[in-house]
Amino acid sequence: ARIAGKLGIAGKEDVLEFVKATDQISVALTEDLGGDVEESINQIGKLVEIFNLKEEFGIEKSLLKVGSTINDLGAKSSASEEYLVAFAKQVAGIAPAAGISIQSIFGLASTLDQLGQTVEVSGTTFNDIIPSMFKDSATFARAAGMELSAFTNLLNTDANEAFIRVLEGIKGNNAGYGEMVLKLNALGVDGTRTMSVMNALAGKTAVLRAEQQIANEAFRQGTSLTNEYNIKNQTAAANMDRVKKAIYNMKVELGEK
């Protein structure tokens, strides 16, 4: 509840919803997010605010949806839950402005982590490439193999799909690689470093689409976090029962002796 206040969440109902949802986060995700309960809750709470989820889903559902997406991606791949949150935080200034959803960002982060790309370089690449796509749409339209008008329309309606189309277009295109490096340098972006990350993704667009599909489904259902919470609570309760039985048996044995 104190963290809710720090995040600007006010009113009895909203604070209660926040507490109910973050109780599940503290049990189900804290260990995967580095072990600091307060920091885990704070980070996920900030992401809900930054991506403007509360207005559409309410505070409790928003937290459960974000937590479920993180939990599902972490469970179904080698990606780290910590990486997902760190990447989402790093791109939180650009992604919402471009209309890219938090679940798409988590799916992208999962793919990048599986490819061995660092959070810092990956986040910088995303923060450079998305604005560049809007500034020099003609170059990126050519890279994607699309007409400029069609690419611009796609960029304005689904920037995530436009980004993936660019990745699919540059796969194995060595001539296009050189042009992109020069164009990015002209835009004030480190073209070589950016294209290194882009090329890694270009070879794995099928994985990226699959990870984003997992993220979208987990977000839509919003139940993975609750399921994990219940499993961990049941495990804890079972462990407590075993301890109680062991203590009881020891008492009986000592009494007999």
Instruction: Write out pLDDT tens, residues 69-112.
Output: 999 999 998 899 999 999 999 999 999 999 999 999 999 999 99
77 burial (CB, 10 Å; 0-12 / 13-18 / 19+) is: middle
For a pLDDT cut of 90, what percent of the chain falls above it?
A: 59
Is 171 in a helix, a strand, or coil?
A: coil
How far is it between the farthest Cα atoms of the chain? 88
The amino acid that residue 44 corresponds to is I
Tens of pLDDT, residues 136-164: 999 899 989 999 999 999 999 999 999 99
Task: Report the pLDDT averaged over residues 175-192.
Answer: 79
The model's pTM is: 0.84
Residue 163 CA: distances (Å) to CA of 43, 110, 157, 209: 26, 16, 12, 12
- 91 contacts 160 by C-beta, under 8 angstroms: no
Contacts of 250 (CB under 8 A, 6+ apart): none
